A and B are shown apart, each in its own frame.
Chain A
Amino acid sequence: MDPTDEELVRRYRTGDASAFDALVDRYARGALRFAAHFLGEAHEAEDVAQECFLKLFTVARNGVYDPQRGRFAPFFFRMLRNLSLDRLRARRPSGPLSQDPAGEEPDGATLAERGETCARVREIVERLPANERAAIALREFEGLSYREIAEALGASLESVKTWIFRARRRIERRWRGEEEA
């Protein structure tokens, strides 16, 4: 059985340098995906993901993250989210972080009834407001629990439930071409 993330952190801190590589392998795609969802720009996302691993290198070594106090994933994604926020603030220092974009949507049947959905759903998700996008990404891609998502995003459990519900409703409406402008 593969070691847990927390076990890898413990191994790294007790002398196993390869455990850190295993963590990078395990989180590389997730980090890039989350940063891309958050920032909406692939090149910038790669920079932020890289910066996050560099920071992780330091905090794992210094014991800032303690595996006994909680799961690694929410800690990691919170760090990544903070770095992404820093990048967004630098990009648009006085603007709001979350906008609700609107656009023309094609008519369509339910997702379950359509075949070519993947790219279309991704496109819709990319246009969700930032909080909803981050919450649904952590749920659907990373499989975090609601409580872990709340921890990662620095939000309440109720906010997470609301964001995920609204994200799904928006995805459904946009797919059906019913979304309001």
Chain B
Amino acid sequence: MACEAFGPDLSTYADGELEPSRAAAVERHLAHCPDCRSSLRTWRAAGESLRKEDPTPDRSDAFRAALPRAAPAAASRRRRRWLAPVAAGVALAAVLSFERARAARDAEAVVALEERNRTETIELLGAVESLRYDAAALLLRARAAEAGEAAGLEEDLRSLTESLRRLEGNLSRIRDGLDREGLLAGPTEAIDGTKNR
């Protein structure tokens, strides 16, 4: 068994985490202490044994299959921020169905999961509101620029219009779904003045 005085440093030394001056002291001690050398060998062998025949199964397929399939956040938050709520909408729909399945298995989790759904919904609706401000700002810029930078602006506007159209459709489906689930309680009023519930 390692010497009491050197044990902690010997363990840190075994992991290569001991500062050089103390490591040198440990090495000097090891040179004439068979007990500490034996402990060091034993600890290293134990670590190797643990890693060598690890019985943990690889469940990555099951983990991936249970995750919501969603496009990640926008490719560039600065230039194409309107994609984020679209992606979030897709993710939300998938999360809802996944979490409904989980809730069926675990009744206690229902409240927490619904609260999480609700939080995601509020985040999504906040992002939509932000998008609308962005759109208004872009339109104002376009009007101010008039003919000078028209080509770039037109492209931006076309892209934005298309994204908005998709977003409206996506949002409408989400609202319908949330209404059916009874998860939405009013935050859309701040966006377009209409109440869902």
Q: Interface of A with B (CB < 8 Å)?
A: 12-17, 19-21, 24-25, 28-29, 31-33, 36, 46, 49-50, 53-54, 57-58, 60-63, 110-112, 117-119, 121-122, 125, 139-141, 145-146, 161-162, 164-165, 168-169, 171-173, 175-176, 178
Contact = CB atoms under 8 A, between A and B. Distances in A.
A72 to B, nearest CB: 16
B1 A172 contact: yes
A161 B59 contact: no
B63 A110 contact: no
Contact of B75 (A14, A20, A32, A173): A14
B1 A169 contact: yes
A146 B17 contact: yes
A61 B91 contact: yes
A110 B38 contact: yes
B39 A145 contact: no
B67 A57 contact: yes
A164 B56 contact: no
B183 interface: no
B57 interface: yes
Given A57-B68, A117-B45, A168-B11, 12 more contacts: A14-B73, A17-B71, A24-B67, A29-B54, A31-B63, A54-B66, A61-B91, A119-B53, A161-B17, A165-B7, A165-B10, A173-B1
Main secondary structure of the interface of B (DSSP, over half): helix
Nearest to A122: B50
Contacts, number: 145
Interface in B53-83: 53-60, 62-64, 66-76
A28 B8 contact: no
Contact of A161 (B11, B51, B68): B11
Contact of B76 (A14, A29, A62): A14
Given A118-B50, A119-B53, A50 B63 contact: yes
B17 A145 contact: yes
Interface residues of B, number: 51
Nearest to B14: A168
Contacts of A33: 54, 56
15 contacts: A15-B72, A29-B58, A53-B67, A61-B70, A112-B41, A117-B49, A121-B49, A161-B11, A161-B17, A164-B15, A168-B46, A169-B1, A169-B7, A171-B43, A172-B46
A49 B11 contact: no
Given A14-B75, A25-B60, A165-B12, A112 B47 contact: no
B6 to A, nearest CB: 10
Contacts of A14: 72-73, 75-76
Contacts of B171: none
Interface of B: 1-2, 7-8, 10-12, 14-15, 17, 38-39, 41-47, 49-60, 62-64, 66-76, 87-88, 91, 98, 120, 123
A111 B46 contact: yes
B2 A28 contact: no
B54 A141 contact: yes
B11 A171 contact: no
B121 to A, nearest CB: 13
B59 A49 contact: yes
Contacts of B2: 169
Nearest to B56: A33
B73 A61 contact: yes
